[in-house]
Amino acid sequence: MNRIRSEPRLPRSGNAALAAGALIQAALGAVFVIAGLSKLVVANYTQQFGTFVQGSVGATSGPLSIVVHVLVVPNLDVVANLTRFTELVAGFVLVMGAFEVARRRLSDPFGAQRGYEPLVALVSAVAAFVLGGLSLSIYVLEGGGFPSISPDLAFVSPIAVELLIVPLAVGIGWLEFGRFVALRPAPRPSAGVESEAGRFRPAPDRPVGV
């Protein structure tokens, strides 16, 4: 059983960083939840998905062209449903993970450490990395390249939203994986850590408040 420790929480800078990360995570998750729900209500979704994939620039040239013709097109129905449910479920996981991070910023007892937190952090990290990879795949499939300076981009976003999502998702995934490492149960110390003087001192506890 995990012990509830009474050590001080993270400094204000750490709390502010985690709170800001939770806000970005919630917004990112909401984007994919809405995208997944929109794919659930669209008529002839599989047919439209196939038209989008096969009509994309990346389907005929680029690093994903072989994958499209070998794996996606022959299994169009499976890939189409996998895409929308991945967006929906992974987006929901990110939103719930963000609420969990926000909860820990509050005072006890509502903000107390819970035993399920490491699992939530790990699942949220996996969801973020998956959505980042999915967004990057869509960008490459659409024929996107490296952002460049151009007069045509003076009054529009110079970076496509699919590409912008990638570093955000990777950052959230890294943050949640760091929370998982910090929150997972620590191994029981045998007797302590030997000091330079040959004496034993207690092993330090893991940080709390994450």
> Which residues, including other chains, have CB under 8 Å from residue 136's CB and lie 6 or more apart?
162, 163, 166
Asked if pLDDT for residue 33 goes beyond 80, the answer is: yes
Report residue 61: phi and psi, to 5°. Answer: -150, 155
pLDDT at 158: 87
- Estimate the share of the chain in helix, then strand, then coil, as percent rounded to the nearest 5: 65, 0, 35
pTM of this structure: 0.81
Predicted local confidence at residue 156, as pLDDT:
85
**What confidence score (pLDDT) does residue 145 get?**
82
Out of 9-13, 102-106, 115-119, 183-187, give the one with best mean pLDDT.
Answer: 115-119
The pLDDT tens digits for 75-132 are 999 999 999 999 999 999 999 999 999 888 888 888 888 889 999 999 999 999 999 9
* Mean pLDDT of all residues in 22-41: 96
Residue 3 predicted with pLDDT over 50: no
% of the chain residues with pLDDT over 70: 82
CA 76 to CA 66: how far, in whole Å? Answer: 14
- The answer to whether the beta carbons of residues 53 and 73 sit under 8 Å apart is yes
At 144, list the tokens.
């996107």
